[in-house]
Amino acid sequence: MSVTKELFLTLPDGTPVHRYTLEKGGVSLSVLDRGSTLQRVAVPGPEGKPVEVLVNYDDPAAYLACPDYLGVFVGRVANRIAKGRFTLDGKDYQLACNNGENHLHGGVEGFNTRVFRLVRAEDDLLELGLTSPDGDQGYPGKLELTVRWKLLEDGFSLEWEAEADKASPAAFTCHAYWNLAGKDAGPEAVMAHRLRLFAGRYTPVDETLIPTGELAAVENTPFDFTEPHAIGERIGQNCPQLAIAGGYDHNFALDAAPGSDGLRPLAEVTSPATGVTMTVETTLPGVQFYSGNFMQGHAKRSGFCLEPQTFPDAVNQPAFGQDVILRPGEVRRDAIRWRFHL
């Protein structure tokens, strides 16, 4: 088995963007070096026919703006930081704000806009690297990042590790949008997906989608996916939290402790249309479940996201108990694993 490489598009400054494709056991995975972007996923469907389950753009040029962060690797910090501000070791920092008054997904020029360098491409593995300079989007310290995409017999995994020469917040994720009925099956198919989240609590948000600091039980709310429910089953209920986000766009706290491999169960989701089931595991403590309420490049709710993460605004909310600060001499390692079956 080998990794294939092709020119995907050329940036306005002349920089080439390449697509790398890995195939194994009926699973096909394509990744762009710009943003370490997950660009295509196909898995075995009914009667052995492949189903493209990752929502993507048909036009390569659409990845230049990519307003929905479609499939991108997010950094230096995933999700929102309130007003783009934090204090670290007695010093105040102001980050680039790109989501109203807040900092979102690494800022105006987050990692999704960077072309990663190729480190390795062999057999079932693609390894990419990125250097984020001191002061990048307002963050302190130079950060060295390595990401590894690995193909499995029934899915794939993403692992990353980061080091910094100054103390800095560092918390990453993959912002993939899924539709297990087929990438173009549309919103009705997404709303029919049956989702189970291994999470008994979630973090309610304010009007700007910053967590209020509360860790609320999902029981007796539309946020209870501890047993499988259709995504669209309760999305229209009269619920202040759903109204704020236009649907689901909330962080859930995962219940399980990590297993011997460091991973904990995150979700299981099935498309009734194809019978394809996706399971997700991660080393991270939370997941942002986003029902695609504000998609710009596709119809509203044409895909859903399950973004493994540390909690949003954790750098300003110590009560969450999550240390997102990466210090010199430390290595930040995390992983996500996706598996598919009928």
Catalytic (active-site) positions? 175, 307
Residue count of the chain, please give it: 342
Do 275 and 53 touch, CB atoms closer than 8 A?
A: no
Please check if 19 is assigned to a binding site.
no
The answer to whether the annotation marks 199 as part of a ligand binding site is no
Question: What does the block give as tokens for 316?
Answer: 């300003």
Alpha helices in the chain (DSSP H): 187-192, 240-245
Q: Are 50 and 34 in contact (CB under 8 A)?
A: no
Q: Annotated binding residue at 249?
A: yes
How far apart, in whole angstroms, are the C-alpha atoms of residue 247 and residue 234?
9
Q: Is 177 annotated as a binding residue?
A: yes
Residue 290: its H or E element: strand 286-290
79 marked among binding-site residues: yes
Output the six-digit token pair for 191. 């709303």
Measured from the Cβ of residue 333, the count of other Cβ atoms closer than 10 Å reads 12
**143 vs 209: CA distance, rounded Å:** 27
Separation CA 39–CA 137 (nearest Å): 25
Confirm or deny that 34 is annotated as ligand binding.
no
Q: Which residues are annotated as a binding site?
A: 79-80, 175-177, 249
Residues at the binding site for beta-D-galactose are: 79-80, 175-177, 249
